[in-house]
């Protein structure tokens, strides 16, 4: 980083190299003020590093520079009143030198100068600060360099350091992103402006764990949305920008990493390469990125998500306590392999003209094997309940199911966009056509079950987990939990599933500068269209292998032990289990025509469509250099449809007559909906002083229901021994869209280079919010569900998704970024980043009339803190991420409400430049071995819902740059 400084003492070159100058026309907005602040802002907005003698400009100020121009033009305007000239420009770094006058024939004498070099982790912070500072609305930015500065495993984790951002995890990795504690599906994700869908089956949130940071130039999060942006971004909008040859100098990078997981105790690897090149006198640019990684995984999770039940001891006169219906320990093992590629081809034939073709592809292969140890406690009833106490008791007649689940999942995301821009006759015209596809494939999932019955268990549960001691049940005549021969192989599940989410889009944008609105006034108009279809095709087969010649117990296989909470559970080895399951599958397919579960196959099939047509008008009013107002109106028309099935079977796929596949299946047809919404917006940006920026905004937004939530499907499941004991699981195609009015106010202070302090307040009024409902069958009359003709209305329980009434969210967001360059000696290399977001919410729903509760999914507190140090090519950073409490599930009764427990994760990373072109990396993630825990509210202290842990991970690697 500092190797370039001595070279700056040489005499300046007489003329810069114009071939390396920035040719891209960009919109610059640099207010009048101190020269150093203006040059730093230019560096950020131009996307180049800049080196200049600070002493030469310390007492100088410059006028405002605003408008659309090349970087060289903008810099030229800044230098008109400064004693600086361009010494060199290689396309990525511009070096400025103090102008010197000498007699003809005299030798120029170098002058001692204090140089400022914008590079390294602190330069990434500086560029992000300047990009956020210049934005019309509240925006956070992660530069390409900062994406790799933390111990992050994918793009989702790179975002968790930003104010108000939290990450949802899966198998120990970041997967989805939420902003200001709102549910992740409230955040829209685009890549180069192309809307991405999701292959998730149960949520609209986009999975970012398949996207590599090596593909990206920059990540932007918008928290207050302009009229020119899509309205379905109540939480925020994330835009991933891929590599461009016109941003920075031409280069090639190669990175190689080794990975180690503490729990799995195996090695993995990652390889990536980036290339940017310009051709034909810098008119044609190509940016290409390729990445591959392989990560072994292993972790444990305990689950109690089958609900709670109030029970008393056999005497019947003691107190009633809540007890889990099931407690489960899951051990996940497997391997995650990623392939990523992106290409960005840009052609700029003349000033103000551009054509582009951009494409991205990400593929995640998840080879997964889970060992599921399930204790079915709810079978213990009446005189089999020997003792009860808070969180547990002594229960007879318990079943233990030990399952092995093999899955080979492929998750793919592809995007393609083409278009261009043209400035002609004072107008700026932009057009784009785009396509994206998310695909999920699970072609050969196999799950086998071994079951032992009539067991005795002593169970204790609390908010964090459970402890269980098993024994022989039924007064010594029942099953033996320590005898492999007691575990019969009595079920095989075989699943084939395909899911796809395809989006086509088109947009037209037209704008021009408008002098009557001020020096930086502007008019923008536009139209957008989006056509989206999501479908799921599932085939499920289930049967008892014992009925078709495969009569085995665990005693007949090779076994190994997995430690459980209070006991050791034995399982077949992976090879032995898979071979047995394949044998059973082939036998069942050959001899059992009823092997297919027609009920679950039908209930898993659906198709949902959503088309959105939008237009907007936006004005930028800037009568002074210090005040800018952006206001406008957006309209969006939505057309949606949903198709699915009604099924009624018992838990084994039999009808009321006990015959396989004899239950009821009906096509529920298609439910269509159409609505139009108007979205006004007002944004103010004011600079009361050169180092202060104040923003205020109001805008209206929308969130359409998750596809999975509004699928037109219903599944009724009844007890095998009692067909009148029925439970209903339903989608809700009659969900209304959620709408929200958002108010934001923020003030930011930039007292000196490397320092930024910001305080923000936000308030959201949300109507028709969504929540997952789990309640009593008697609540049916309160629900908008419409059963098919002739279907009985008596249910024990109902699970669906509902609209709430009104919710209010109020929050405060504070952030502080500080570089300590003025401290003496080694301390001058310190820098810190800290941010915290507090949020408070209230909501109501008719199913819990009279109650006020937190908005489901809203976290009360999120925060980040990092401490770093860099000097002479060495960079160290330790960081912590905090996620606060959130209501996850709103149940029919208070005791079964589910909350996400607060958690903290600590990471560490090191970067060291071995040479000017070779960098060493070391990352350590989750050093404190944090767990993700959800729990029922319960009676006193709560009872666990889920508890997942995947341990610490470490990476060591090298990056070469040419």
Taking the C-alpha atoms of residue 458 and residue 903, their distance in angstroms, rounded to an integer, is 30
Q: Which residue has the higher pLDDT, 31 or 381?
A: 381
* 582 confidence band (pLDDT: 50, 70, 90): very high
Instruction: Please write down the HEC assignment for all residues of 19-53.
Output: HHCCCCEEEEEECCEEHHHHHHHHHHHHCCEEEEE
C-alpha distances (whole Å) from 273 to each of 106, 276, 412, 866 are: 48, 10, 20, 28
Residues of the chain above pLDDT 90, percent: 37
Looking at the predicted structure, is the pLDDT value of residue 740 above 80? yes
Distance of CA 105 to the CA centre of its chain: 64
* 5 confidence band (pLDDT: 50, 70, 90): very low
Kindly report, residue by residue over 99-135, the tens digit of the pLDDT: 543 333 333 333 333 333 333 445 555 656 666 666 6
pLDDT at residue number 30: 85
Kindly report, residue by residue over 920-938, the tens digit of the pLDDT: 989 888 899 988 899 998 7
Least confident of 33-47, 387-401, 674-688, 815-829: 33-47
Instruction: Please write down the HEC assignment for all residues of 55-119.
Output: HHHCCCEECCEEEEEEHHHHHHHHHCCCCEEEEEECCCEEEEEECCCCCCCCCCCCCCCCEEECC
pLDDT at residue number 437: 94
∠606-610-612 over CA atoms, to 5°? 175
∠209-212-218 over CA atoms, to 5°? 115
Mean pLDDT, range 261-274, rounded to an integer: 88
Q: Could you list the beta-strand ranges (E) of 804-931.
A: 806-819, 830-843, 861-871, 874-883, 886-891, 898-900, 903-915, 918-925
Mean pLDDT, range 228-253, rounded to an integer: 82
CA-closest candidate to residue 177, choices 904, 948, 879, 859: 859
Taking the C-alpha atoms of residue 123 and residue 119, their distance in angstroms, rounded to an integer, is 5
pLDDT at residue number 501: 92
Looking at the predicted structure, is the pLDDT value of residue 10 above 70? no
CA-closest candidate to residue 913, choices 7, 270, 50, 3: 3
Taking the C-alpha atoms of residue 199 and residue 203, their distance in angstroms, rounded to an integer, is 9
∠169-175-178 over CA atoms, to 5°? 90
Q: Are 342 and 243 in contact (CB under 8 A)?
A: yes
pLDDT at residue number 426: 87
For all residues of the chain together, what is the average pLDDT?
A: 83
* 264 confidence band (pLDDT: 50, 70, 90): confident
Looking at the predicted structure, is the pLDDT value of residue 240 above 90? no
Looking at the predicted structure, is the pLDDT value of residue 226 above 80? yes
Q: Tokens 């959620």 — which residue?
A: 738
* Cα radius of gyration (the chain): 31
Q: Which residue has the higher pLDDT, 99 or 354?
A: 354
pLDDT at residue number 633: 96
Residue 101 makes CB contacts below 8 A (sequence gap 6+) with none
Mean pLDDT, range 841-855, rounded to an integer: 80
Q: What is the DSSP string of 715-775?
A: EEEEETTEEEEEEEEE--TTPPPEEEEEEEEEEEE--STTEEEEEEEEEEEEES-EEEEEE
pLDDT at residue number 326: 94
Taking the C-alpha atoms of residue 443 and residue 114, their distance in angstroms, rounded to an integer, is 63
Bridge-partner residues for 361, per DSSP?
341, 414
C-alpha distances (whole Å) from 38 to each of 129, 753, 801, 818 are: 13, 11, 52, 19
pLDDT at residue number 174: 67
Residue 531 makes CB contacts below 8 A (sequence gap 6+) with 503, 504, 505, 611
Q: Collapse the DSSP code of 298 into the 3-class scheme (helix H, G, I; strand E, B; otherwise coil) and give the result.
A: strand
Looking at the predicted structure, is the pLDDT value of residue 718 above 60? yes
pLDDT at residue number 506: 97
pLDDT at residue number 548: 82
Q: Which range in 774-778, 798-802, 937-941 is most confidently predicted, on average pLDDT?
A: 798-802
Residue 514 makes CB contacts below 8 A (sequence gap 6+) with 521, 522, 523, 619, 620
Q: Tokens 């001891």 — which residue?
A: 313
Mean pLDDT, range 358-368, rounded to an integer: 92
Looking at the predicted structure, is the pLDDT value of residue 485 above 60? yes
pLDDT at residue number 110: 35
Q: Which residue has the higher pLDDT, 66 or 550?
A: 550
Looking at the predicted structure, is the pLDDT value of residue 236 above 90? no
Kindly report, residue by residue over 283-321, the tens digit of the pLDDT: 899 999 999 999 898 888 999 988 888 888 766 667 888
Q: Tokens 């043209």 — which residue?
A: 422
Q: Tokens 């007649």 — which residue?
A: 397
Kindly report, residue by residue over 403-439, the tens digit of the pLDDT: 999 999 999 999 999 999 998 888 999 999 999 999 9
Q: Which residue has the higher pLDDT, 214 or 693?
A: 693
* 449 confidence band (pLDDT: 50, 70, 90): very high
Q: Which range in 172-176, 308-312, 591-595, 674-678 is most confidently predicted, on average pLDDT?
A: 674-678
Looking at the predicted structure, is the pLDDT value of residue 554 above 90? yes
pLDDT at residue number 552: 94
Angle between helices 35-46 and 120-134 in degrees, nearest 10: 90
Q: Collapse the DSSP code of 873 into the 3-class scheme (helix H, G, I; strand E, B; otherwise coil) and give the result.
A: coil
* Residue 615 host element (H or E): strand 606-621
pLDDT at residue number 878: 92
Least confident of 335-349, 367-381, 523-537, 947-961: 947-961
Q: Which residue has the higher pLDDT, 681 or 114?
A: 681
């Amino acid at each position: 980083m500092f190797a370039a400084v001595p070279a700056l003492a040489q005499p300046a070159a007489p003329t810069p190299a114009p071939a390396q100058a920035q040719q891209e026309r960009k919109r610059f907005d640099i207010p009048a003020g101190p020269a150093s602040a203006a040059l730093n802002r230019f560096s950020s907005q131009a996307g180049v590093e800049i080196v200049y003698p600070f002493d030469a400009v310390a007492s100088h100020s410059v006028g405002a520079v605003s408008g659309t121009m090349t970087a060289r033009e903008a810099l030229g305007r800044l230098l008109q009143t400064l004693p600086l000239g361009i010494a060199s420009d290689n396309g990525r770094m511009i070096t400025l030198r103090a102008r010197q006058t000498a007699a003809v024939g005299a030798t120029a004498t170098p002058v001692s100068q204090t140089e400022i070099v914008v590079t390294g982790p602190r330069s990434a912070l500086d560029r992000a600060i300047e990009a956020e500072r210049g934005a019309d609305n509240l925006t956070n930015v992660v530069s390409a360099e900062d994406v790799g500065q933390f111990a992050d495993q994918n793009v989702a984790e790179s975002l968790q350091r930003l104010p108000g951002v939290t990450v949802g995890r899966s198998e120990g990795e970041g997967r989805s992103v939420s902003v200001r504690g709102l549910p992740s599906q409230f955040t829209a994700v685009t890549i180069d402006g192309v809307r991405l869908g999701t292959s998730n089956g149960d949520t609209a949130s986009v999975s970012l764990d398949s996207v590599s940071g090596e593909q990206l130039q920059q990540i932007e999060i918008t928290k207050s949305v302009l009229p020119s942006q899509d309205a379905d971004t109540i939480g925020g909008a994330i835009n991933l920008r891929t590599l461009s040859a016109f941003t920075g100098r031409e280069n090639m990078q190669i990175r190689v990493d080794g990975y180690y997981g503490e729990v799995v105790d195996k090695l993995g690897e990652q390889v990536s390469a980036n290339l940017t090149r310009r051709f034909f006198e810098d008119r044609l640019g190509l940016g290409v990125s390729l990445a591959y990684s392989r990560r072994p995984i292993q972790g444990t999770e305990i689950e109690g998500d089958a609900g709670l039940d109030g029970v008393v001891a056999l005497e019947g006169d003691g107190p009633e306590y809540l007890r889990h219906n099931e407690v489960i320990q899951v051990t996940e093992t497997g391997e995650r392999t990623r392939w990523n590629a992106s290409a960005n081809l840009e052609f700029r034939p003349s000033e103000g003209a551009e054509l582009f073709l951009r494409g991205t592809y990400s593929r995640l292969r998840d080879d997964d094997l889970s060992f599921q140890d399930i204790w079915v406690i709810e079978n213990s009833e009446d005189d089999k309940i020997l003792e009860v106490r808070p969180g547990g008791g002594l229960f007879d007649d318990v079943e233990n199911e030990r399952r092995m689940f093999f899955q080979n999942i492929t998750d793919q995301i592809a995007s393609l966009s083409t278009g261009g821009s043209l400035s002609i006759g004072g107008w700026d015209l932009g057009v784009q056509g785009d396509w994206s596809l998310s695909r999920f494939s699970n072609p050969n999932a196999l799950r086998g079950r071994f079951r032992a019955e009539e067991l005795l268990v002593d169970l204790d549960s609390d908010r964090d987990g459970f402890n269980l001691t098993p024994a022989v049940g039924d007064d010594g005549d029942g099953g033996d939990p320590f005898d492999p021969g007691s575990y019969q192989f009595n079920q095989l599940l075989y699943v084939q599933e395909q899911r796809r989410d395809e989006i086509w889009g088109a947009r037209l944008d037209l704008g021009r500068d408008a002098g009557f609105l001020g020096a930086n006034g502007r008019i923008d108009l536009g139209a957008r269209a989006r056509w989206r279809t999501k479908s799921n095709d599932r085939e499920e087969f289930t049967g008892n292998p014992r009925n078709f010649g495969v009569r085995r117990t665990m005693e007949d296989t090779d076994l190994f032990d997995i430690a459980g909470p209070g006991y050791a559970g034995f399982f077949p080895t992976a090879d032995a289990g898979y071979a047995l399951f394949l044998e059973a599958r082939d036998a069942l397919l050959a001899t059992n025509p009823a092997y297919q579960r027609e009920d679950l196959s039908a209930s898993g099939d659906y198709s949902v469509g959503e088309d959105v047509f939008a237009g907007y008008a936006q004005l930028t009013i800037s009568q002074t250099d210090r005040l800018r107002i952006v206001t406008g109106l957006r309209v969006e028309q939505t057309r949606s449809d949903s198709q699915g099935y009604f099924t009624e079977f018992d838990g084994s796929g039999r009808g009321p007559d006990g015959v396989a596949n004899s239950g009821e299946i009906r096509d529920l047809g298609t439910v269509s909906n159409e609505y139009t919404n108007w979205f006004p917006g007002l944004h103010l940006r004011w600079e009361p002083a050169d180092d202060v920026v104040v923003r205020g905004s109001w805008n209206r937004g929308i969130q359409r229901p998750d596809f999975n939530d509004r699928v037109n499907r219903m599944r009724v499941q009844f007890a095998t021994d009692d067909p009148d004991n029925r439970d209903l699981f339903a989608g809700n195609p009659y969900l209304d869209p959620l709408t929200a009015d958002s108010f934001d106010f923020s003030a930011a202070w930039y007292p000196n280079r490397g320092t930024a302090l910001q305080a923000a307040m936000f308030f959201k009024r949300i109507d028709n919010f969504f929540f997952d409902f789990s309640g009593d069958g008697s609540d049916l009359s309160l629900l908008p569900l419409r059963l098919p003709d002739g279907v009985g209305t008596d249910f024990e329980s109902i699970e669906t998704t509902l609209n709430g009434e009104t919710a209010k969210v109020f929050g405060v967001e504070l952030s502080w970024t500080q570089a300590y360059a003025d401290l003496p000696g080694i301390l001058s290399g310190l820098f810190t980043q800290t941010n915290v977001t507090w949020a408070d919410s209230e909501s109501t729903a008719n199913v819990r009339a009279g109650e006020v509760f937190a908005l489901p999914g809203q976290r009360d507190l999120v925060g980040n803190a990092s401490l770093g140090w860099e000097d002479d090519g060495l960079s160290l950073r330790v960081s912590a991420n905090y996620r606060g409490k959130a209501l996850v599930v709103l149940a029919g009764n208070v005791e079964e409400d589910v909350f996400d427990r607060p958690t903290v994760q600590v990471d560490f990373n090191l970067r060291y430049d071995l040479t000017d072109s070779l960098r060493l990396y070391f990352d350590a993630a989750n050093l404190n071995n944090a767990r993700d825990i959800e729990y029922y509210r319960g009676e006193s202290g709560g009872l666990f819902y889920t508890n997942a842990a995947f341990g610490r991970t470490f990476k060591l690697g090298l990056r070469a740059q040419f």
